[in-house]
Amino acid sequence: MTEPIRLLLADDQALVRGALAALLDLEADLKVVAEVGRGDDVVEAARNSSADVALLDVEMPGLDGIAAAAVLSRELPHCRSLIVTTFGRPGYLRRAMEAGASGFVVKDTPSGQLADAVRRVAAGLRVVDPALAAESLASGNSPLTPRETEVLVVARRGGSITDIAGELHLSEGTVRNHLSSAIGKTGARNRSEAVGIAAEKGWL
């Protein structure tokens, strides 16, 4: 009998992790071997458990799932990552694929389809939610530069221009210019609206 596919679950919500583990463990060829609630615990847990596939939520403390997928891809390329998220945003899908994730599905995917996605990822294939793939193609790349993205990420935490400038080691004038540009590119009326639009599209 072939060895089951070894799974690592990473989600900061224990109930979600437990439900996923229970569903996936019903499959004879899948075995949950590790569970973590933080993105920065993923690589160590994958290494210690010899996981074949890591199922990663996007929004977690420590490292988000997309950043964790990038580290896994670099440090443990034999452990493939499948993003399983509530947030089916086109920008997240694009960033996840660029980070080296092998798949991207939303949490309301039926359990049989999720198990099948895990098997396909383990076999070296790429699996993407079809509706999200179409939306991602339609919405295109983020128009924001890396620096504008960085400024909006810090702005999302509610700091002043002075706070953002201090954290990013930029002048206040430069921060204002980046914010102004980001507001224009997102079609927003102000900074908080620009942050909201960019976050909704998965660009942050």
Please write the tens of the pLDDT for every residue from 121-136.
999 999 988 777 666 6
Has residue 137 got a pLDDT over 70?
no
Q: Which of 84, 142, 155 is nearest to 113 (CA)?
A: 84
Name, in order, each residue with C-beta under 8 angstroms of 149's C-beta and a sequence gap of 6 or more: 142, 198, 203, 204
Look at strands 103-106 and 80-85 and give their pairing. Answer: parallel
Question: Regarding predicted confidence, which is higher, 117 or 137?
Answer: 117
From 122, 15, 182, select the one nearest 23 (Cα to Cα): 15
For the ranges 4-8, 34-38, 63-67, 132-136, which has the lowest average pLDDT? 132-136
CA 54 to each of CA 86, 114, 180, 182: distance values in angstroms, whole numbers, following the listed order: 16, 13, 39, 34
Tell me 102's DSSP state.
S
Helix (H) or strand (E) holding 104: strand 103-106
Beta bridge partners of 5: 30
Q: Is 36 a residue whose pLDDT tops 60?
A: yes
pLDDT score of 27: 94
CA atoms of 21 and 70, how far apart (whole Å): 23
pLDDT the model gives residue 89: 74
Q: What are 71-102's pLDDT values in tens digits? A: 999 999 999 999 998 877 767 888 898 899 99
Q: Could you tell me which of 80, 95, 165 has the C-alpha nearest to residue 127?
A: 80
The confidence score (pLDDT) of residue 4 equals 95
What is the reported pLDDT for 8? 98
Q: Would you put residue 129 in left (φ > 0), alpha (ψ -120 to 50) or beta?
A: beta
- The yes-or-no verdict on residue 46 having pLDDT over 70 is yes
What is the distance between the alpha carbons of residues 126 and 140, in angstroms, rounded to a whole number? 20
Element (H, E) at 128: strand 127-128
Residue 202 pLDDT:
76
Q: What average pLDDT does the segment 23-40 reach?
A: 95
State the average pLDDT over residues 22-32: 94
pLDDT band, very low/low/confident/very high, at 139 (cuts 50, 70, 90): low
Measured over the CA atoms of residue 50, residue 48, residue 86 and residue 152, the dihedral's sign is negative
Please state, for a pLDDT cut of 90, what percent of the chain lies above it: 64
Mean pLDDT of 103-118: 90
Candidate ranges 51-55, 169-173, 181-185; pick with highest mean pLDDT: 51-55
Q: What is the mean pLDDT of residues 133-150?
A: 75
Specify the pLDDT at position 170: 92
pLDDT at 183 over 70: yes
Q: Could you count the other beta carbons within 10 Å of the beta carbon of residue 127?
A: 21
Domains of the chain: 5-138 (3.40.50.2300), 146-200 (1.10.10.10)
